Amino acid sequence: MLFSFSLYSTKPKILNMLKKLFPPLLLLLVAFFLMVRVFLGYIFSPADMLFHFQPWAEIGSPREGIQWNPLLWDSIAQFYPWRNFLAESLRGGFLPLWNPYQFCGTPFYANGQSAIFYPFNWLTALLGKRFLGFNSFFHLFLAGFLLYLFLRKIKVSAYASLFASLAYMLSSFVTAWLPLPTVANSFVWAPLALIGVELALEKKLWHSFLTCAISLSLSALGGHPQFLLYTLWLLIIYLLLRLPWEKRVYLGSSFVPLFGAGMGLLLSSLALLPLFEFFRFAHRAESTSWQSYNAYISLSLPLERLIGLFLPNFFGNPAKGNYWGRGEYIEYALYLGILPLFCLPFTLRGERKFAFPLLIISLLSFLLLLGTPLNIPFYFLFPAWSQTGSPARLISVFVLCLSAGAGIGFDTLLRTPFSRRFLHSTFFPIILFPFLLFSLAPREEPFTILRDVSPTFPYMDFLKLFLLPLFLYLFIVFRKKLLPYLLLPLLLLDLFPTASSHLYFSPPEKLFPPLPFVEQLKGSFYRLLAITPRWSLYRYPLACFPPNTSMVYQLFNVGGYDSLFLLPYKSFLDNLEGKNTAPLENGNMLLPNSVRKENLDILGVKFVLSPFYIDASHLKLLRDGETKLYLYLGNPLRFSFVDQFFQAQGSSKLLAYSPNRVEFEIEGEKEGYFLFTDTYYPGWRAFLDGEEKAIIPYYIFRSVPVPAGKHRLLFLFRPFAFKLGFYISLLSLTLLCFLSSFRKFHKTI
């Protein structure tokens, strides 16, 4: 009897626990099925794109149908080389603050998107190539789960919260940007910031403070400053719009989320302070002007791309090889499903204090991403807004708030009885919307007209656009009780195919496979010059070892590709080449191509890779084929001990080289200077026989005065911005832990 009574009493608890666990488990299951190939041993990367370039085109051929996509290429040319470099350094027992493989050396810790302080990125040392897939799986789940928690916090039912979370998690914005990890790493924490605002309004001030601090800190460490700014902007606007709806709000408590956000930024000082310092020396450090504003607005969402809200493949899809639209497919990814859009009219009937702020933010972000004059005050007055690059990326905020609004609308639809008159007036205009597309031209063959307008017109999407709202209407009118069981499967059937088309998987051996002739160069301290005759945004470039790819093979390169690099270095290269070394299509690249002896000497270049033959007496052809490898017969300057007239003297020997530490042995009969052709940046310190010496810039490189005799010279990278940021972060974390240990403080705050 006792056993049966215990079993009977625990059964409701088990059922309640299962009900609570069902939504997050379903979100996890959907993320698993979307990323299942990662668990089968594949890597999350469009590795086939590599085989459009030399030297990989010699050893394999790409899979057909993958169009050239410059943003998607970043996952190969930036994020994998950087994560791989971080992994190898962590396995070597140090944190890489300096990257010697790009731009003759560049600060790695300060470029933002390297994100070496983001805790989840440290797992790359354990997972290797598979890290990108597991990282994307985790953040895909997190995108849905955190929105679910926010909607539950504002009293939306579990089922409606799950509906909205699935719509957001499988939206085109989230899935199309997933191959570029810093976007997801930074913006996935935005719903957590909104939870922090709600906690403050519930008078749970300590929890609000802590939640906002964690959200902004992880967003900052995630590696994308633009989406950190959007997260902060969303928190501020949502707080301002929520306050008027509360009857009793103390002025002090309304500032708690902002104080928490400030604490989050302090916690991430070790990443933000180096970024701000680097920005002062970088090529993108420019003042705001009307000219720069016009350039910014030119990248807003074109009006015709609004069709993507209803027909995601109207302009084709680069994964299918049929994209024909203007601009980047990823930049204009709007789709979050048809059913969520048709739930939005019911949001207006929901609880206004939650619904209206989200709808207002959706409208505001929508007007901003379209390039309206509303951008002017934000561009000129909001700190760092002018450096966000494109208003179209506010799609992130628009899709997030629209998904949350759809959850409120669906909840209202389930809870509230509506008259048939209201339903007719709401649904029939929506159901008839697809037929408005027929007015593109007065012809009897509407589908022919649409085919003329869109060469890849998606008939299935068009059919869904008509049928799904019709089914929704019929079930609301005749079988409303069945609606919860019907809508989730329909939502998944709608979104899953589009979401899966944004994801690229490859066998591990396809991502940067071994190259025998390149392995022979790996031990050389001299640099490589890779010739790139043509770079393009619209077709595969003609390039050999595109920027950054050589760093996977630990080859030193004079070029590079980064959202931030040193402006003095670019100016130096431009002077050497006599032209702009950044291609017009992408100002974040440097592509030097000159093989003049003077250039190769000063840049320390010993090897030249080219897709075509080079007629130069000072170059010797070492390897013939699709990729030509040349040896420079001169004596390039990597390091040298020179006299006061900069003539070589004595001897110098490299003893040890690592990203943060370089050691030489120098011997000479006279005093002079030791020249080292790695770029100079604040934070490099020189120690001669243990005594610190001043580093004197030589052009953009480093030189140190050295007396006669035999000496040891040590270069250490110890940047002040990193140390200051580290101590601020450490003190902030200590203060947070100290305050967390006092319950009395929690009650007073």
What would the pLDDT profile of 684-727 be if each residue is shown by its tens digit?
999 998 899 999 988 899 999 988 888 999 999 999 999 999 99
Query: Under DSSP, is residue 734 helix (H, G, I), strand (E, B) or coil?
Result: helix
Tell me: pLDDT of 442 over 50.
no
What's the domain range around 685? Answer: 639-718
Residues 566 and 649 in one domain: no
Q: φ and ψ at 608, to 5 degrees? A: -125, 130
| Confidence (pLDDT) at 515 | 86
Tell me: pLDDT of 297 over 50.
yes
Tell me: pLDDT of 383 over 60.
yes
Model confidence at 3, pLDDT cuts 50, 70, 90, reads very low
Q: Are 180 and 225 in contact (CB under 8 A)?
A: no
For residue 732, being part of any structural domain is answered with no
What's the rounded mean pLDDT across residues 617-622? Answer: 91
Tell me: pLDDT of 150 over 90.
yes
| Residue pointed to by tokens 């939640």 | 211
Tell me: pLDDT of 453 over 60.
no
Residues 191 and 309 in one domain: yes
Residues 403 and 272 in one domain: yes
What's the rounded mean pLDDT across residues 409-414? Answer: 86
Tell me: pLDDT of 449 over 50.
no
| Beta carbons within 8 Å of 93's beta carbon, 6+ residues apart | none
Chain segment 633-683, per-residue pLDDT in tens: 988 988 888 877 677 777 888 999 999 999 999 988 888 889 999 999 999
Model confidence at 216, pLDDT cuts 50, 70, 90, reads very high
Residue 678: CATH number of its domain: 2.60.40
Q: What is the pTM of this model?
A: 0.90
Amino acid at 35: M
For residues 124 and 195, give the distance between their C-alpha atoms in angstroms, rounded to a whole number. 30
| Confidence (pLDDT) at 435 | 58
What's the rounded mean pLDDT across residues 604-617? Answer: 90
Residues 617 and 492 in one domain: no
What's the rounded mean pLDDT across residues 128-151? Answer: 93
For residue 126, being part of any structural domain is answered with yes
| Confidence (pLDDT) at 233 | 94
For residue 297, being part of any structural domain is answered with yes
Residues 222 and 202 in one domain: yes
Residues 626 and 644 in one domain: no
* DSSP-derived pairing of the beta strands 628-632 and 619-623: antiparallel
Backbone dihedral region for residue 670 (phi beyond 0: left; psi -120 to 50: alpha; all else: beta): beta
| Confidence (pLDDT) at 736 | 87
Residues 181 and 295 in one domain: yes
Q: How many CA atoms lie within 13 A of 665 on its CB side?
A: 5
Residues 609 and 688 in one domain: no
| Confidence (pLDDT) at 431 | 64
For residue 464, being part of any structural domain is answered with no
For residues 270 and 733, give the distance between their C-alpha atoms in angstroms, rounded to a whole number. 12
For residues 401 and 404, give the distance between their C-alpha atoms in angstroms, rounded to a whole number. 5
| Confidence (pLDDT) at 5 | 42
| Confidence (pLDDT) at 440 | 43
Q: Nearest to residue 188, comparing CAs of 396, 337, 341, 361?
A: 396
Residues 624 and 659 in one domain: no
| Confidence (pLDDT) at 1 | 40
User: For all residues of the chain together, what is the average pLDDT?
Assistant: 85
Locate 66 and state its tokens. Answer: 């993958």
Residues 619 and 660 in one domain: no
Model confidence at 399, pLDDT cuts 50, 70, 90, reads very high
Tell me: pLDDT of 443 over 60.
no
Q: Which long-range contacts (CB under 8 A, 24 or more apart) does 437-443 make?
A: 437/462
More confident residue, 61 or 420: 61
Model confidence at 474, pLDDT cuts 50, 70, 90, reads low
For residue 39, being part of any structural domain is answered with yes
| Confidence (pLDDT) at 198 | 93
Q: State the maximum Cα–Cα separation within the chain, in Å, rounded to a whole number.
A: 101
| Confidence (pLDDT) at 476 | 67
Model confidence at 30, pLDDT cuts 50, 70, 90, reads very high
Sign of the C-alpha dihedral computed for residues 297, 303, 304 and 307 taken in this order: positive
Model confidence at 202, pLDDT cuts 50, 70, 90, reads confident
For residue 316, being part of any structural domain is answered with yes
More confident residue, 436 or 15: 15
Most confident of 243-252, 314-323, 620-629: 620-629
Percent of the chain past pLDDT 70, that is, above it, reads 89
For residue 584, being part of any structural domain is answered with yes
- H or E, element range at 658: strand 651-658
For residues 88 and 442, give the distance between their C-alpha atoms in angstroms, rounded to a whole number. 63
More confident residue, 166 or 346: 166
Locate 487 and state its tokens. Answer: 């809508």
If one counts the domains in the chain, the total is 3
What's the rounded mean pLDDT across residues 506-533? Answer: 87
Q: φ and ψ at 92, to 5 degrees? A: -85, -5
For residue 101, being part of any structural domain is answered with no
Tell me: pLDDT of 600 over 60.
yes
What's the rounded mean pLDDT across residues 189-207? Answer: 92
Chain segment 545-562, per-residue pLDDT in tens: 899 998 999 999 999 999
Residues 564 and 688 in one domain: no
User: Among 113-127, 308-322, 577-591, 693-707, where is mean pLDDT lowest?
Assistant: 308-322
| Confidence (pLDDT) at 338 | 86
Backbone dihedral region for residue 671 (phi beyond 0: left; psi -120 to 50: alpha; all else: beta): beta
What's the rounded mean pLDDT across residues 202-217? Answer: 91
Residues 644 and 619 in one domain: no
Percent of the chain past pLDDT 90, that is, above it, reads 42
